[in-house]
Amino acid sequence: MVSTTTASAEKKKAAKPSAAERFGILEMPDLTYTKAIARETAPLYEKVKHHIPEIEWPVHAPYVYWINRLKKERGAVILAHNYQTPEIYHCVSDIAGDSLQLAREATLVDEDIIVQCGVHFMAETSKLLNPHKTVLIPDVKAGCSLSESITGEDVRLLKQAYPGVPVVTYVNTSADVKAETDICCTSSNAVRVVESLDSDTVFCIPDEYLAMNVQKQTKKKILTWKGHCEVHERFTAEELLAYKEADPAIQIIAHPECHPSVVKVADYAGSTSGMIEYAMNQKPGSKVLLVTECSMASNIEKEAKGVEFIKPCNLCPHMKRITLPKILESLVYMKQEVDIDPAIAKKARRAVERMVNLKPN
């Protein structure tokens, strides 16, 4: 019999060294706004000057400068979701995109360290697809109301109650939930994923509204769950119709996490990157209302030349947990590392890879 002391010593020996132990920690740099920092960051300020007053730039600039410098020294890449704030999106990220784009890009980057500026499920997805890379999230508490609406145990019970019905899980879920899933989907491919399955009835969980929106585009019977996005569930068709009444030429662009009644009054519905593309293709002088998280309009406003954005502003508190100071801390102290139980990761990876490898129509 193994004594407790020996067992815990063995366990300690087997424990993987932390990212800080593997890569070492650095000293926190001096965050003074020097002339050199002002000069180096000036081109980046140009990209965000519509959103950050000049008087505030000296606070952001040293973080931007040191993040970009340490990112190179560490050999790290920064992936940022479209909802990140303009200073993250424009000044420090290497790749920005929607959930599917970030999942795909995560498999293509050469760097050994990924800093995920987004919410926890996105960092987990990057880790699933890159088990040998180090994935850091600047704030481990950056969650998601959809992800928190369901557990792996809930999915096991659904499968017991409905044997043989395939389960499509939105990528906005924990690895535990993905592990119980046949295939993942995102807002940009949900219909295609559902259609790819050889079954007349399909679970599309946990976003009830996404599932209802998918139901309108497929003959298959969709079963779902009562999860909602706390940002998108707040938009109503009435408020959007009031905008349309005031100006019928307004283009309404909605995310499919909105209630179907909201999507119905929209001129276009799609993933965050789909929404960006649609907005970018509007003629100068058009007015566009983005029915989604506020930062996105701020991020694309400058490039969408001549398009006026109307912002019924809803912030995602989870996305907003990621800040420049926390990104710098991640790079200095190599935290917070995302790790997934290997047995869960193996099953969850299958579901994500199956989605990533699905051929486009």
The residue ranges that bind ligand 13P (CB under 6 A) are 82, 98-100, 172, 186-187, 229, 255, 257, 271-272
Among 111, 230, 277, 353, binds ligand SF4 (CB under 6 A): 230
Q: How far is the CB of 344 from ligand SF4 (least distance, A)?
A: 21
By beta-carbon proximity to ligand SF4, the closer residue of 93 and 145 is 145
Rg (CA), the chain: 22
Helix (H/G/I), strand (E/B), else coil: 277:
helix
172 part of the interface to ligand SF4, by CB under 6 A = yes
Q: How far apart are CA 232 and CA 230, in angstroms?
A: 6
Q: How far is the CB of 240 from ligand SF4 (least distance, A)?
A: 18
Q: How far is the CB of 318 from ligand 13P (least distance, A)?
A: 9
**Interacting residues of 136 by C-beta distance below 8 A, sequence separation 6+:** 19, 76, 113, 114, 115, 116, 123, 330, 331, 334, 335, 336, 337, 338
Q: How far is the CB of 86 from ligand 13P (least distance, A)?
A: 17
**Interacting residues of 255 by C-beta distance below 8 A, sequence separation 6+:** 187, 232, 269, 270, 271, 272, 275, 291, 292
How far are the Cα atoms of 24, 62, 79, 273, 328 from residue 66, in angstroms, in the given order? 17, 6, 17, 29, 7
Say whether the peptide bond before residue 336 is cis (omega within 30 degrees of 0): yes
Q: How far apart are CA 305 and CA 225, in angstroms?
A: 40
Q: How far apart are CA 53 and CA 264, in angstroms?
A: 38
Among 78, 128, 144, 183, binds ligand SF4 (CB under 6 A): 144
Instruction: Dig out the tokens for 22 from the structure.
Output: 């593997």
By beta-carbon proximity to ligand SF4, the closer residue of 145 and 215 is 145
119 part of the interface to ligand SF4, by CB under 6 A = yes
91 part of the interface to ligand SF4, by CB under 6 A = no
Q: Which positions from 283 through 322 interact with ligand SF4, judged by CB under 6 A?
A: 293, 316, 318-319
User: Residue 187 binds what, of ligand 13P, ligand SF4, none (CB under 5 to 8 Å, by partner type)?
Assistant: ligand 13P
By beta-carbon proximity to ligand SF4, the closer residue of 196 and 273 is 273
Binding site for ligand SF4 (CB under 6 A): 119, 144-146, 172, 229-231, 257, 293, 316, 318-319
